[in-house]
């Protein structure tokens, strides 16, 4: 299920995009990073005139056993309550989904709290529950390797559904109380970095809450001792079901040649896990924004990534990626809609 290799980027489509950009009615290179974005999108899609609309917004939801250690400012039940809010259309990501006519799916890969029937049966909610939340990583591995693979497969299926529905890029986000704890633990193992420098306040812990969260992560890593050269084993030991599902969605989306817009801290850690499993993934990833969560810096560095926006967000759900979507759309529209010097009868510079 983890792909051995991903489709090669299309260098011919990229070269055509470069040549067209240089013939458009502007000084060469004057649209800066937007031009590089247009070329990257052409290479990913294998189209000299790429198109990212309509986007799919995939929100993966799950619970974390480690929430019992009071590592979040909010109780575990909020995961299910926010899933209900996503189905009702009231969350921030719903606003952006309507704004961009996106195909929005909420994929439950492991929410622990039972949901009312009207939520459970809602067409926007996809039931891919692998188990009712992970186990508490202080007491045992969060899940088995097989469960991590099942969650990854659910993510890959969501990516394939989006491609089949005609979506042209994926915006990948999550909802899961305590998932900054799982993400920080994963990141510490995968980068070998000290826990102290990467733990943040998540949904809003105070300073003593952050110190306690750090101690929980350090104790969990001491007890689990994950092998940093075994990304799947690390994911199973201290990760999360929605993190595994996002990793699977990234890999499944790349197999479909879809540009992948990465959201904040948790989504970037999932992308890092996926890249460790399949290094060719990196070229498909476009980073939407720089999150306020301090560990995001290290995760971005590990992926050699420079996000498009820096807006001080720390919400999740895919909101930072959704905010960056119009930049991708603009890059595509410039390529396909701007006049060339020939079209406009304007003399090109020498």
**Residues in the site for ligand DMD, rule: CB under 6 A?**
74, 78, 82, 175, 203, 315-317
Count of residues near ligand NCN by CB under 6 A:
24
Among 96, 265, 287, 325, binds ligand NCN (CB under 6 A): 265
Q: Are 88 and 224 in contact (CB under 8 A)?
A: no
CB atoms within 10 A of CB 315: 17
Q: Are 325 and 99 in contact (CB under 8 A)?
A: no
What letter would DSSP give residue 89? T
Residues 153, 244: Cα–Cα separation, whole Å: 9
Among 47, 105, 293, 329, binds ligand NCN (CB under 6 A): 293
Q: Is 318 in the site for ligand NCN (CB under 6 A)?
A: no
Return the number of the residue (221 or 267) whose C-beta is nearest ligand DMD. Answer: 267
The end-to-end CA distance of the chain, in Å, is: 52
40 noted as active-site residue: no
Reduced to 3 states (helix: H, G, I; strand: E, B; else coil), residue 227 is coil
Q: Is 202 in the site for ligand NCN (CB under 6 A)?
A: yes
Among 83, 143, 178, 235, binds ligand NCN (CB under 6 A): 178
Largest CA distance in the chain: 71
266 is in the binding site of which of ligand NCN, ligand DMD, none (Cβ under 5 to 8 A by kind)? ligand NCN
- Distance from CA of residue 20 to its chain's centroid? 31
The phi-psi region of residue 316 (left if phi > 0; otherwise alpha if psi is between -120 and 50; otherwise beta) is left
Residues 237, 203: Cα–Cα separation, whole Å: 23
Q: Is 144 in the site for ligand NCN (CB under 6 A)?
A: no
291 is in the binding site of which of ligand NCN, ligand DMD, none (Cβ under 5 to 8 A by kind)? ligand NCN
| Minimum distance from residue 92 beta carbon to ligand NCN (Å) | 11
Q: Is 291 in the site for ligand NCN (CB under 6 A)?
A: yes
The catalytic site residues sit at 317
Binding site for ligand NCN (CB under 6 A): 72-74, 174-181, 202-203, 263-266, 291, 293, 296, 314-317
């Amino acid at each position: 299920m983890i792909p051995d290799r991903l489709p090669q980027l299309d260098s011919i489509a990229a070269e055509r995009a470069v040549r067209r950009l240089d013939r458009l009615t502007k000084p060469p290179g004057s649209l800066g990073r937007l031009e590089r974005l247009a070329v990257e999108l052409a290479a990913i899609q294998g189209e000299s005139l790429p198109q990212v609309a309509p986007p799919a917004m995939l929100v993966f939801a799950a619970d974390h056993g480690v929430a019992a250690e009071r590592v979040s400012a909010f109780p575990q039940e909020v995961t299910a309550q926010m899933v209900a809010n996503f189905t009702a259309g009231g969350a921030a990501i719903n606003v952006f989904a309507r704004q961009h006519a996106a195909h929005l799916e909420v994929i439950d890969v492991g929410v622990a709290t039972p949901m009312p029937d009207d939520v459970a049966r809602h067409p926007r909610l996809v039931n891919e529950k692998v188990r009712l939340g992970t186990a508490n990583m202080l007491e045992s591995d969060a899940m088995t390797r097989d469960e991590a693979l099942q969650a990854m497969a659910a993510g890959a299926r969501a990516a394939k559904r989006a491609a089949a529905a005609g979506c042209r890029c994926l915006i990948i986000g999550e909802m899961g109380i305590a998932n900054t704890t799982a993400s920080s633990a994963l990141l510490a193992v995968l980068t070998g970095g000290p826990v102290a420098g990467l733990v943040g306040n998540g949904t809003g812990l105070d300073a003593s809450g952050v110190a306690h969260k750090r101690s929980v992560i350090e104790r969990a890593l001491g007890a689990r001792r994950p092998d940093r050269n075994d990304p799947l084993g690390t994911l199973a030991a201290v990760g999360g079901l929605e993190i595994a599902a996002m990793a699977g969605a990234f890999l499944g989306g790349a197999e479909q040649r879809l540009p992948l817009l990465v959201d904040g801290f948790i989504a970037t850690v999932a992308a890092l896990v996926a890249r460790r499993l399949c290094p060719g993934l990196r070229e498909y990833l476009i980073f939407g924004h720089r999150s306020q969560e301090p560990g995001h810096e290290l995760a971005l560095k590990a992926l050699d990534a420079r996000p498009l926006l820096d807006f001080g967000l720390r919400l999740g759900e895919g909101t930072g990626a959704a905010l960056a979507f119009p930049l991708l759309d603009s890059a595509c529209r410039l390529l396909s809609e701007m006049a060339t010097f020939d079209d406009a009868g304007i003399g090109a510079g020498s």
